[in-house]
Amino acid sequence: MAHTGTSARREFLAGCRDEAPLLLGVAPFGMIYGIAALAAGVPAWLAQLASAIVFAGAAQLVIVQMLAAGAGFVPIALTSGLLNLRHVLYSASMADYVHHLPRRWRLLLAYVLTDEAYAVAVLRYQQRHAGEADQAEQADSGTQAGGMDQVADLRHWYFLGAGFTLWAGWQLSTAAGLLFGTTIPPEWELDFAVPLTFIALLTLLLRERAGQAAALVAALGALAFAALPYKLGLVAAIVLGLTAGAWTVRRLEHAR
């Protein structure tokens, strides 16, 4: 059906369009990452490659921050491996929407399943009812035989459009940071933007008591275990923070 092709393209472009405003928020992180990577001594080509193979802003910032602090292989792998674990949640949340797709589609969509692409795509999937007028209109202009489900199925193109836009924005802003980074004198201390970014994100995340307990204990732990080699103290601090968070959740549940 020729009509499916144009609808697919329409979904893809709609995904690109809806993801675009988020790039305003993402681009500064990409640039900060690029600049901080150079400051940490990462070769530019490798910093750019990392944006393609890791493709997770927070983890990439954590990696360069830890490299700059002289952390070893194992602590960095453990910390960023833990931090990225949240993607399993996104994956679980998307499972019902994409389980019918062929494996090659799921392999592709998994690659673009990042925070910001997830945020946009999950809204499109949840809009099912709100979008029915739109879908009915499309069905009217095409063959009726396809029915609602076939139109609904094309939302993976929307997901791909959102993911692709984010991917392109992330690569370009990384490149901009790397280009910019070589010209900036170290006195500007732009590497300080990384802990500032963590402070900003932390404030947004600390809404509930258990999360606050986890953060406080992890921060104190980072100081208490500062002397551990290879920055392993950071891993210990995070694990201790998670324990404190879980303990607080349990205690609040008992108090109820």
Partner 1 sequence: MSTTTLLLLLALVGGLTYLYRYAMIGLFASRSLPAWLHALCRHIAPASFAALTASALFVAGGEVVFAFDTPRPWAALVAVLVAWRTRNVLATIGAGMAALYLLKLLFPT
Residues 85-124 that bind partner 1 (CB under 8 A): 85-92, 94-95, 98-99, 103, 106-107, 109-111, 113
Q: Is the Cα dihedral 158, 160, 166, 172 positive or negative? A: negative
- The CB-of-90 to partner 1 minimum distance in angstroms stands at 7
Instruction: Tell how far CA 63 is from the center of its chain.
Output: 14
According to CB under 8 A, which residues from 122 to 151 bind partner 1? Answer: none
Interface residues for partner 1 in 22-51 (CB under 8 A)? 25, 28, 32, 42-43, 46, 49-50
Q: Which is nearest to 154 in space by CA: 1, 10, 2?
A: 10
Q: Which of 8, 23, 44, 83 binds partner 1 (CB under 8 A)?
A: 83
Question: Residue 69 gets which letter from DSSP?
Answer: T
Residue from 16, 67, 120, 166 that binds partner 1 (CB under 8 A)?
Answer: 67
Q: Judged by CB under 8 A, which of 123, 168, 192, 252 binds partner 1? A: 192
Reference 56, options 73, 76, 92, 81; nearest CA is 81
Residues 190, 111: Cα–Cα separation, whole Å: 30
C-alpha pair distances (Å), 86 with each of 60, 90, 113, 118: 15, 7, 11, 12
Q: Which is nearer to partner 1, 16 or 109 (CB)?
A: 109
Nearer to partner 1, 17 or 86 (CB): 86
Q: In the bound complex, what is the minimum distance in angstroms from residue 237's beta carbon to partner 1?
A: 4
Candidates 181, 131, 184; CA nearest to 154 is 131
Distance of closest approach, residue 39 Cβ to partner 1, in angstroms: 13
Choose which of 14, 82, 172, 176 interacts with partner 1 (CB under 8 A): 82
Residue owning tokens 């099912």:
128
Residue 6 CB, nearest approach to partner 1 (Å): 27
Q: In the numeric block, which tokens belong to residue 111?
A: 């690659």
Q: Which strand (E) or helix (H) includes residue 104?
A: helix 103-111
Burial of 75 (0-12, 13-18, 19+ CB in 10 A): buried
| Residue 231 binds to partner 1 (criterion: CB under 8 A) | yes
Q: Which stretch binds partner 1 (CB under 8 A): 7-15, 147-155, 164-172, 185-193?
A: 185-193
CA 64 to chain centre: 16
| Least gap, CB of 13 to partner 1 (angstroms) | 23
Binding to partner 1 (CB under 8 A): which residues in 195-224? 195-206, 210-212, 214-223
